[in-house]
Amino acid sequence: MGANVNDAVRQLIYAGTIKNAVFLPPPPMKNRGGGVNFDTNTSLKNKDYKMECIQTLIEQKKCLALMGPTASGKSQLSMDLARVLPIEIISVDSALIYQGMNIGTAKPSLQEQQQVVHHLIDTHDPLESYSASEFVEDVHTLVKNIFARGKLPVLVGGTMMYYNALQQGMNDLPSADDTVREKLQAIWQENPEQLHQRLEEIDPESALRIHPNDPQRLIRALEVYEISGKTLTKLRAEPKLELTAFKLIKIGLIPEDRAKLHKQITKRFDAMLEIGFLSEVKTLFERGDLTPDTTSMRSVGYRQAWLFLNGEYDYDMFVYKGLVATRQLAKRQLTWLRKESDLIQIDPYKTSPKSRLERVLEVLNGAKS
């Protein structure tokens, strides 16, 4: 696509001709994947899957976790499950927490959020940070409250770092401090090398692990030291706080055919562009307080769109880079999932929506015994 087309696309965005979906509720995602047709599967809809089953799972402190790479159908499966069981959904997605980031995150639509309660969605401004330790703390509170309401907590998402923190435990690291972080970010903008040199002085082991051009991890390591007086290396050597409050029944949507997953990723990315993804990023771009290095803007797709709007990519390069980044994310997620113990796998491309739902119900029924 030539420069004239790139200019034309930018002009349409800035003229507002392309729909700006940021000011609208999250739109329904095309190509999310078809769910169960309950009109033709009345046995599923009406079948008594027993409050007794849910009550037993609650008594045993068991939650369901629907894992999988991006675009594998986790959200649709959770929505189908909500049609037959009393559940509440806890998002396990580091990008869904951000307000105004609806299209590029494939955020559940307003209609979907009205059909079943979703948690950890739209909780933060894109300028704010949210750590894995905060996620673990929030999930513990949410699970306790959902159990108390007589419902099954269902964790849905693909941020594997969050799952790992929840299961393997977290070191007791201090929460982010905006004042300290802003000071370090200002130094990074002026002299990035200074921060890495400082880390080499106070925590040589972390300095070896963290690349000088990785501001997110570099600033966090220095922030931890500024707040606690202890290095990241020292804190990580301390005992972890392991998961004991509840157990996870883990189901993973794992496609055997990577090409089919890549095809679905492309379909979804095209759908995002069609319903206004670039206009969504344009609104964030024009706020003036965000940068490509802000945590929220490092999300897959957003960073590439930012660079296009900034004139660093042409349109074809933006699309190419966005797809590559999404495929790389899926690859990392699958690598994590291969390490998951007790994971029950379902291939989303070898099963129907109905059979996937039936398999989940079968697993839940077996887990209560």
- Taking the alpha carbons at both ends of the chain, their separation in whole angstroms is 59
Distance between CA 136 and CA 166 in Å, rounded? Answer: 6
Distance between CA 253 and CA 129 in Å, rounded? Answer: 29
Predicted local distance difference test score (pLDDT) of residue 46: 43
Burial class (CB in 10 A: 0-12, 13-18, 19+), 322: buried
Distance between CA 4 and CA 158 in Å, rounded? Answer: 38
Distance between CA 342 and CA 340 in Å, rounded? Answer: 7
Would you state the structure tokens that stand for residue 114, as one six-digit string? Answer: 């009205």
Q: Which of 279, 317, 284 is nearest to 299 (CA)?
A: 284
Dihedral (CA of 242, 244, 246, 251) sign: positive
Burial class (CB in 10 A: 0-12, 13-18, 19+), 191: exposed
Predicted local distance difference test score (pLDDT) of residue 129: 84
The most distant pair of C-alpha atoms in the chain lies apart, rounded to whole Å, by 66
Predicted local distance difference test score (pLDDT) of residue 33: 59
Please give the backbone phi and psi of residue 241, each rounded to the nearest 5 degrees, phi first. Answer: -95, 95
Distance between CA 206 and CA 186 in Å, rounded? Answer: 21
Distance between CA 84 and CA 86 in Å, rounded? Answer: 7
Please give the backbone phi and psi of residue 273, each rounded to the nearest 5 degrees, phi first. Answer: -65, -40
Predicted local distance difference test score (pLDDT) of residue 48: 54
Label each residue of 251-267 as H, E or C: EEECCCCHHHHHHHHHH
Q: Which of 95, 13, 25, 93 is nearest to 283 (CA)?
A: 13
Q: How many other CB atoms are found less than 10 A from the CB of residue 12? A: 13
Distance between CA 281 and CA 32 in Å, rounded? Answer: 21
Predicted local distance difference test score (pLDDT) of residue 173: 75
Distance between CA 347 and CA 257 in Å, rounded? Answer: 9
Predicted local distance difference test score (pLDDT) of residue 240: 66
Q: What is the pLDDT along the chain (369 residues), one digit of tens a residue?
A: 444 445 555 555 544 444 333 334 555 555 455 676 655 554 555 445 457 889 999 999 999 999 999 999 999 999 999 999 999 999 999 999 999 999 999 999 999 999 999 999 999 999 998 888 889 989 999 999 999 999 999 999 999 999 999 998 777 778 778 899 899 999 998 998 999 999 999 999 999 988 888 888 899 899 999 999 999 888 877 766 667 889 999 999 999 999 999 999 999 999 999 999 999 999 999 999 999 989 999 999 999 999 999 999 999 999 999 999 999 999 999 999 999 999 999 999 999 999 999 999 999 999 876
What H or E segment, with its residue span, contains residue 119?
strand 118-119
Would you state the structure tokens that stand for residue 313, as one six-digit string? Answer: 């990519």
DSSP code at position 320: H
Would you state the structure tokens that stand for residue 228, as one six-digit string? Answer: 């606690």
At 66 the three-state DSSP class reads strand
Inter-residue contact 78 to 353 (CB < 8 Å): no
Distance between CA 296 and CA 212 in Å, rounded? Answer: 20
DSSP states of 201-259: HH-HHHHHHS-TT-HHHHHHHHHHHHHHSS-HHHHHTSPPB---S-EEEEEEE--S-HH
Distance between CA 345 and CA 158 in Å, rounded? Answer: 14
Please give the backbone phi and psi of residue 239, each rounded to the nearest 5 degrees, phi first. Answer: -55, 145
DSSP code at position 297: G
Inter-residue contact 251 to 65 (CB < 8 Å): yes
Predicted local distance difference test score (pLDDT) of residue 333: 98
Domains and CATH numbers, the chain: 3-19+52-164+245-254+264-353 (3.40.50.300), 178-236 (1.10.20.140)
pTM (predicted TM-score): 0.78
